[in-house]
Amino acid sequence: MHALKPLTLALALAVGLSATAAGAANTLVGFASLHANTFADGPTSGQFAGAGAFGNPLPLVDKQPVQGFSAVLDGPVPGTFYVMQDNGFGAKANSADTLLRMFAVRPDFRTASGGGGTVSPVDFATGAALPGFNASSYIQLRDPDQKLGFPIVASMAHYPNGGNNIPVDAAIQNGRLLTGYDLDIESVRKDKDGNLWFGDEFGPFLVKTDATGKVLQREIPTPNTRGFGSNPLVQSPQNPYLGGGAYNLNGSGGFEGMALNKSGTALYTLLEKRINDDPNAQRLIINEFDLASGAYTGNSHAYRMESASHAIGDFTAISDTQFLVIERDGRQGDPTMPEYTNPAQFKKIFKVDLSRTDAEGFAEKTEVVDLMNIADPDDLNGDGKTTFNFPFVTIEDVLVVDPSTLLVINDNNYPGSSGRAFGVSDNNEFILISLAQPVPEPGTYALMLAGLGLVGFMARRRA
């Protein structure tokens, strides 16, 4: 669990449990936003991603965007978080000059009792406040020891875009920095030794680095544990080893979500899309990876999407067998705003239990949050409404703050997504949700009982 102010554990428990007793909805209790036009030091990015969108031109000369948050972890000190960017501008071909970074941030959540509603950079190691997103606020993935088995942009004289006429930036070459052409990282977990494991979509691969982002070993391919089709591996069209050959996973279908069980012994990798030869279009495969042996165990599970057109956004553990999954449609925009002709409809968080499966092998699934219908009695986002929704096309971050509170963050796809305000590039929004039904973790039941006692005491005082 993550210690977070101003929401202390006792307060969050009291809020969540009292909400449950009253039959209340899930409630927004914290809101913060990082502006879309937030940048860090270069090199130049976006040279291959078109002219930009919504008044935000590309390229970004001597700058990198701070955007596209696709994973979140606890930060260096309470109240801070690590947020991981994805490959950059959404595709392999347009992101060869975009670096793969993780930033440390501190949201100043706007709550019922105050708060600025902003998000600020902090030192990646200490959590100390910083004046801007500089080198102290992030780590960069890099492969100085040439552990990866395929050529990376840093080994090339020219970017693999734009007619082969733009030299690769010297900083990328000298540091052997990884870019959004090399990997599309969409998930990350930290193991007991402090090493980082990244889930990639291009392979899809698992990539292990040290705490500073240095690659430690060759990338790990994904086994086809269910045996759908003849390929023993799961491979996307962007897999660098295919060479234009047949693939069995459509693009952008890899490890959008990856969970580390509470014991810290195993990763559970969740594909975003179905394997092409799978006869069930709603089935996504979860594979178990043993950290001690550094290999997949062969054990797999199945997650059933509500619709074959949906995708998942994140996958995080509650216990060794229970996990949270963000499931979403591919739409954006507030349904109450007439400007959006095809607005967002389905953005939900589910709890799944891998120890409880049905006759077809699908894990038991229970709705936890409807992100399109959250109570906001204090209008924390300032839109004049007492109901809050999260109408972004991609929502890819969920963290259990405590059993009654979730942190959720969108991936804003800078500059091309416009789900909050029509025709305006989306910001990175950080929201805290008080749950009407807590998601207990092992060891928290005594705390919950204490919270119930607190609620009962407060009720007796009022009486």
Tokens of 67: 């955007």
Q: Which residue has the higher pLDDT, 297 or 450?
A: 297
pLDDT at 285: 97
pTM listed for this prediction: 0.91
Share of the chain above pLDDT 70, in %: 90
Report the chain's mean pLDDT, rounded to a whole number: 91
pLDDT at 359: 85
Mean pLDDT check: name the lowest of 200-209, 242-251, 267-276, 311-320.
242-251
pLDDT at 1: 52
CATH topology of domain 9-462: Tachylectin-2; Chain A (2.115.10)
Q: Which among 32, 50, 42 is positioned nearest to 414, based on CA atoms?
A: 50
pLDDT at 443: 43
pLDDT digits (tens, 9 = 90+) for 91-146: 999 999 999 999 999 999 999 999 999 999 999 999 999 999 999 999 999 999 99
Whether the predicted pLDDT of 14 surpasses 90: no
pLDDT digits (tens, 9 = 90+) for 432-446: 999 999 997 534 443
pLDDT at 24: 57
Helix orientation angle between 9-22 and 445-462, rounded to the nearest 10 degrees: 70
Phi, psi angles (nearest 5°) of residue 272:
-80, -30
Whether the predicted pLDDT of 22 surpasses 70: no
Report whether 198 contacts 207 (CB < 8 A). yes
Q: How confident is the model at residue 5 (pLDDT cuts 50, 70, 90)?
A: very low
Tell me the three-class secondary structure of the chain, residue by residue.
CCCCCCCCHHHHHHHHHHHHHHCCCCEEEEEEEECCCCEEECCCECCCCCCEECCEECCECCEEECCCEEEEEECCCCCCEEEEECCCCCCCCCCCCCECEEEEEEEECEECCECCCEEEEECCCCCCECCCCCHHHEEECECCCCCCCCCCHHHCCECCCHHHCCECCHHHHHHCECECCCCCEEEEEECCCCCEEEEECCCCEEEEECCCCEECCCCEEEECCCCCCCCCEECCCCCCCCCCCCCCECCCCCCCEEEECCCCCEEEEECCCCECCCCCCCEEEEEEEECCCCEEEEEEEEEECCCCCCEEEEEEECCCCEEEEEEECCCCCCCCCCCCCCCCCCEEEEEEEEEEECCCCEEEEEEEEECCCEECCCCCCCCCCCEECCCCCCEEEEEEEECCEEEEEECCCCCCCCCCCCCCCCCEEEEEEECCCCCCCCCCHHHHHHHHHHHHHHHHHHC
Mean pLDDT check: name the lowest of 2-6, 179-183, 238-242, 415-419.
2-6
Q: Taking residues 39-64, report their average pLDDT.
A: 97
Whether the predicted pLDDT of 449 surpasses 90: no
Question: Which residues partner with 129 through β-bridges?
Answer: 122
CB atoms within 10 A of CB 57: 11
